[in-house]
Amino acid sequence: MPFDAANLLPILPEIVVAITASLVLMVDLYLKDEHKGFNHTLAIIGLLVAIGFTGAVGGGAQELFFDGNVVRDAMSDLLKGAVLIISIFAFVYAQPWLKDRGLLLGEYYALGLFAVLGMLVMIDANSFLTLYLGLELLALCFYALVAFDRDSPTGSEAAMKYFVLGALGSGMLLYGVSMIYGATGSIEFGPVAQAIAEQGTKDKVLIFGIAFLVIGIGFKFGAVPFHMWVPDVYEGAPTPVALFLSSAPKIAAFALAVRLLVDAMGGLQADWQGMLAILAVLSMGLGNLVAIAQTNIKRMMAYSAISHVGFIFLGLLAGSSQGYAAAMFYAIVYALTAAGAFGIMTILSRKGFDVENLEDLRGLNDRDGWYAAMMAIMMFSAAGVPPTVGFMAKLLVLEAVVRIDMVWLALVAVFFSIIGAFYYLRVVKLMYFDRPTTDAPILSSGGVRAVMSVNGLTILFLGLFPAALLSLCQGAFA
């Protein structure tokens, strides 16, 4: 089949990110140590250009490219834009931390950009093959990034755990894909959905395939009981890597779940709905309860992430366009909140000292009132306190679950959310009502402060005026 250059138009953002990552690799060879900051500038410019192209080639009806392996639709447009914006935040927050420790290397930006490329490929996927390629590109980059600080034994240990359990999760997913391919004879989502509509659940291989797919999705999200890697990786990874890992990949994991369960397996919703309900309840329960006992703030945020995954699953299992839109809204909002919370930790760290424990945030309001206010907004949003956007995100998901008459599930979610509010508000109490443990100055550039301000105020603005983002999410599933 002749190559059609028109196929390249919808993947222009991916092409830009790939070219930028390759440029960083090449340019870094010729940069002296004092000019390594140019990698940062190059990476940010590449991501900004990619955002521009995402807007330029987006819009309009769904289109398939590359023999049906790549799709461009309203969902991919929105999710790609969100991933690129949050990746810019992650790079901006990381730069002072890396520079302080002599780790401002081209490898960090090259691996980070290739990870972003993996996320974009996952979001665009319309076949199991494309999806798996994006997933592995993302995972391989993060295995290396978690061990990026070679002098950190905990980082190396975390990377090994992540690698072993990540490989196990990928294997499960691949095994499920092979079963579905065997039962339907296709790796493209459209023909798979058609085959399922025709034969239903007569083929038991399909049911086994779905079980393994859900296990694979659970691993990638870090849902209970496949969460073993999450706390150790968040704690062991360098803070900027934990920031990156906790934010944008959650949006890509949401795309993975929608492409597999909704686009390909929508006809078997009754079978995967129960599995997701169990994972959601376990994740919300264990995540919130264990987070209370944590004194390490990175581990607390890891268990917090596990509990938020439960909420995303609630929206997905609703099986309605309203539920999918609510889950998408939640995933984007959570990624924005996690980026801000870890961003504050990165900003407060300095050479020889990392913000690891809750005690390190004592009296932050006395040291820098604005950063304390930004962190408070992040915590209130994560707890679901109005007028932050976290409240609206939780409300939309609960409404979608109530609409399908699963009121008990909504009540369970509310119960665990109330428990979860305790450990978020504990952080606010430490910042505003305790005395500082150090009087060391907080060193941050005007650019970092400006980006953090945008991050925090966006969470406040979206809480007061959620209609714009919500209508985009609803449009993706209209």
Q: What is the mean pLDDT of the chain?
A: 87
Alpha carbon distance 29, 25 (integer Å): 7
Distance of CA 370 to the CA centre of its chain: 26
Alpha carbon distance 337, 460 (integer Å): 11
| 89-102 tens-digit pLDDT | 999 998 888 888 87
Query: What letter does residue 70 receive in the DSSP assignment?
Result: E
Threshold 0.85, pTM exceeds: yes
Placement of tokens 């002296």 in the chain: 32
Q: Which amino acid is at 379?
A: M
| Residue with the larger pLDDT of the pair 123 and 350 | 123
Q: Concatenate the DSSP letters of all residues of 63-89 into one string.
A: EEETTTTEEE-HHHHHHHHHHHHHHHH
What proportion of the chain, given as a percentage, has pLDDT over 90? 33
In total, the chain counts a number of residues equal to 478
Q: What is the pLDDT of residue 318?
A: 85
Q: Find the farthest-apart pair of alpha carbons in the chain and give their distance in angstroms, rounded.
A: 70
- CB within 8 Å of 263: residues ≥ 6 apart: 126, 189, 190, 193
Placement of tokens 């780790």 in the chain: 103
Q: What is the pLDDT of residue 2?
A: 62
Please give the average per-residue pLDDT across 142-156, as a whole number. Answer: 86
- CB within 8 Å of 442: residues ≥ 6 apart: 347, 348, 367, 368, 371
Choose the weakest-confidence range: 209-218, 396-405, 436-445: 436-445
For the beta carbon of residue 182, count every other beta carbon within 10 angstroms. Answer: 12
Alpha carbon distance 76, 473 (integer Å): 11
| 245-295 tens-digit pLDDT | 998 899 999 999 998 888 888 777 888 888 888 999 999 999 999 989 888
Q: Nearest Cα to 40, choosing from 120, 119, 105, 84?
A: 105
**Alpha-carbon separation of residue 453 from 28, 139, 235, 357 (angstroms):** 31, 30, 26, 24
Domain ranges of the chain: 5-476
**Alpha-carbon separation of residue 243 from 235, 287, 343 (angstroms):** 11, 18, 7
| 183-192 tens-digit pLDDT | 888 888 888 8
